[in-house]
Structure 1
Amino acid sequence: MSKRNQMPGLRLKGGIWHIEKRCKYCQGGWLREGTGTSSRAEAEEVLIRRLAELRVNAERKAESVFTFEEAALRYLEDVAEKSSAETIAMHIDQMSPFIGHLPLEQVHDGTVKPFVDHERQRGVGPKTVNNALGIIATILKRAAGKWRTEEGIPWLRQAPAILTRLSLVGHRRKAYPLSWDEQDQLLRCLPRHLVDPVLFAVNTGCREQEVCGLHWDWEVAVPALGTSVFILPESETKTRTERIVVLNSIAQRIVEACRQQRGTSGYVFEYRGKRLGTLRTSAWRRAWTRAGLPDDPMVMKGVHNLRHTCGRRLRAAGVTLETRKLLLGHASGDITTHYSSAELGELLSAAERITDRGTAQLPALTIIQGQKQDVGKTSEIKKGLRA
């Protein structure tokens, strides 16, 4: 190629061709960046490609065309205060390589299918895939119905009519409530920092993030019963309502042991001075396997089994359905923090039933008992519990 036929805008620096070219689509009017190649022909191809990309992006912005990645980031801003924000972000990270670059108009069943196929091939259950598809559908609906440009133009003219969900028939993983022996074996296989929160979960029925995020500020003393409870704020529960966590004798001892070793993070369960992020770590998965628990792909292996274990034991102990729902924090029209001491006593009595294996034995784990400490001032609702 003769010099006069060479594309202008390239300069050789240190053996590598760099772009230095005027460009109306660039801020400042210049495109300056390296091509990463010492070949003039390859550098010209890079330059042509970059100019085309910049032109397309400029036209897209002028026409108010948004990519799924841009919409997903906007959605994360909207849900940042929700307890599910981390899970939503995880799903978006997983789907972005497949559809993140696509304009919203091009996100539909056909373009989402490669993501679905990839997730199924790596063994992800239908429910988890459906949750991700639900996030996609929500983002598209908001883009069409809620989000607007400065000119008042919707981000998306119309959301797709449907994003097909996977059928759960024959695919739903079954919960696996633990027997007492299986519980003991699992606890022996877990690292020490997971033993207390796991045993707390199985005795309270708390969800994983309710355990990990349990804060000392939520503890409320109930002097009439010689115990305390935790009131989880609505921002921290799945049902988006306040939840009262009643402590049976095992859960109380765990709390007291944690109180003796209380750190500065403000959380009941800590690891290396910080809040626990999750219970289902690689250590949990190894412990599940070493404990000889089921490896069937149709059986749940996660921490949610602890909640099922609590519920199953409450039912086996003869606790009524209504009381089980209250203890497990199921959605209800009642404001569950408004209880008298007598009503709390009934809940405490019901929770205590699952500490008895049938022979008055406690789980084979020694927990250090500590001196109960009173908590500070609380809200009016919490003061009512002390009456």
Structure 2
Amino acid sequence: MAATKYLNETEKRSLDRDAYCLNKLDSYIGDLNITHVHMGTLQTYIEARRTEGVKSATIARELAVLRRILTLAARTWRDEYNNPWIDTAPLIELPKWEDGAEPYPLNWEEQNRFFKLLPDYLNKMALFKVNTGLREQGVCWLRWDWEVQIPELNTSIFITPGKRVQYEDGVWGGEKNKEDQIVVLNQVARSVIEAQRGLHPVYVFPYQDRRIGHIHTTAWKKAWIKAGLPVDGSYNKGPHNLKHTFGRRLRSVGVSLETRKVLLHHKSGDITTHYSGAEISEL
């Protein structure tokens, strides 16, 4: 009941993930009254998930959703008598077992070897991502109406909306910090964009005439293995490694921390007024 209320009343970009997390918890605590949910009754779930080989970060993410529900039940939700659902939210400790996979930035030889094994549509997306630092969903959702011309530089940039936007084929969830993000195009990224023009009226990187849901597909996973890249669980194997690759290369050529924050989309602010043509040229 509490989980259903939470999912029905909450609006957030990652609500589908929250539903997935609650589904994982349901078989362990779904039959319990909310007043009986605490660290003691959660131990079976935690131990079972760890035995399955699930990382502590994943378990912590699942427990964080539960912790949010318990907080709402104690502080916000009221019954017909105006009493809180529970008197006090129990302390939910999130596990930290130092078992997280490390990022794996690619060197140039690894990148060339890996990218050659990707199907053409993923190759273009990966090449764009490793040259812009844009997150996976930003690349998948990249739209032509997000492009902004910079006439004084004879170029353009893309601006990904910070807030949630409803489109005909789905909902763009927005950026994590809810601020619009600037996507600056270097020569390689620009060449990718120009090669994509005219392929689709809406999306920059279409596949079979529609928006792609993920870069981290079976084709990506097979290419990663075939390229001889790490698969032992010590390192991440997904597209986020390309963002780390981009960041490491910026640092290696002496790009300042402030500029790296902008290029890696870690800097918030009103980019429509904060960045002039000259500043974009510097980026």
Normalised to the residue count of structure 1, the TM-score between the two structures is 0.66
Residue aligning to 1:302: 238
After superposition, what is the alpha-carbon deviation per residue over 1:175-216, rounded to whole angstroms, capped at 9, x for unaligned?
110011111122122223322222111111111122222222
Q: Which has the higher contact order (CA 8 A, sep 6+)?
A: 2
Structure-2 change in CA distance of 1:75 and 1:273 (3 Å): farther
Is 1:152 aligned to 2:90, yes or no?
Answer: no
Of 56, 63, 72, the residue aligned with 1:133 is: 63
Tell me the residue number matched to 1:254: 192
Which of 272, 275, 283 is the matching residue for 2:211? 275
Q: Secondary structure at the match of 1:229?
A: strand
2:224 to 274, 288, 295: 288
Alpha-carbon spacing, 1:176–1:230, altered in 2? closer, same or farther (3 Å)? same
Deviation track 1:60-94 (CA, whole Å, cap 9, x = no partner) reads xxxxxxxxxx22222223433x2222322222222
Q: Which amino acid aligns with 2:185?
A: L
Distance 1:94 1:256, change over 3 A: farther
Q: CA deviation at 1:167?
A: 2.0
Shift of 1:222: 0.9
Q: Which whole-Å CA distance do the structure 2 matches of 1:201 and 1:187 have between them? A: 12
**Offset of residue 246 of structure 1:** 0.6
Cα distance in 2, alignment partners of residues 240 and 223 from structure 1: 27
Percent sequence identity is 44
Which position in structure 1 is the counterpart of 2:179? 241
22, 27, 31: which is aligned to 1:101? Answer: 31
TM normalised by structure 2 equals 0.89
* 1:113 Cα deviation from its structure 2 partner: 2.2
Structure 2 distance, partners of 1:136, 1:284, is 33
> Is the 2:199–2:206 contact (alpha carbons within 8 Å) kept by the matching residues of 1?
no
Counterpart-to-counterpart distance in 2, 1:197 and 1:142: 40
Instruction: Give the Cα separation in 2 of the matches to 1:318 and 1:223.
Output: 28
Kindly indicate whether the alpha-carbon contact (under 8 Å) linking 2:132 and 2:183 is maintained by their aligned counterparts in 1.
Answer: yes
Identify which of 23, 48, 51 aligns with 1:121.
51
1:351-362 matches, within 5 Å, as none
**Whole-Å Cα distance in 2 between the matches of residues 115 and 275 of structure 1?**
37
Cα shift at 1:324 = 0.2
Compared CA separation, residues 285 and 268, structure 1 to 2 (3 A): same
2:206 counterpart letter in structure 1: E
Q: Deviations over 1:35-82 (max 9, x none)?
A: xxxxxxxxxxxxxxxxxxxxxxxxxxxxxxxxxxx22222223433x2
2:3 pairs with 1:72: yes
Amino acid in the other structure paired with 1:296: D
Corresponding residue number in structure 2 for 1:92: 22
CA–CA separation in structure 1 for the residues paired with 2:56 and 2:17? 16
The runs of 4+ residues in structure 1 deviating greater than 6 Å are: none
Give, in angstroms, the shift of residue 164 of structure 1.
Answer: 2.0
Please give the residue correspondences for 1:1-387 in structure 2 after superposition, counting only pairs within 5 Å. Answer: 70-80=1-11, 82-160=12-90, 162-169=91-98, 171-235=99-163, 236-263=174-201, 266-332=202-268, 334-338=269-273, 339-347=275-283
Change in Cα spacing, 1:141 to 1:213, as seen in structure 2 (3 Å) is same
The residue type equivalent to 1:251 in the other structure is A
Check whether the contact 2:105–2:245 (CA below 8 A) recurs between aligned residues. yes
Query: Structure 2 regions of 5+ residues with no counterpart?
Result: 164-173
Q: Give the CA deviation at 1:150.
A: 4.1
Show structure 1 runs of 5+ residues with no match: 1-69, 348-387
Amino acid paired to 1:158? T
Contact 1:214–1:267, Cα closer than 8 Å, also in 2: yes
Change (3 A) 1:86 1:249: farther
Please give the alpha-carbon distance, in whole angstroms, between the structure 1 residues aligned to 2:209 and 2:8: 29
Residue type of the partner of 2:95?
L
User: How many angstroms apart in 1 are the aligned matches of 2:270 and 2:183?
Assistant: 13
Q: Is the 8 A contact 1:109 1:164 kept in 2?
A: yes
The count of corresponding residues between Structure 1 and Structure 2 is 272
Structure 1 residue identity aligned to 2:140: C
What secondary structure sits across from 1:241 in the alignment? coil
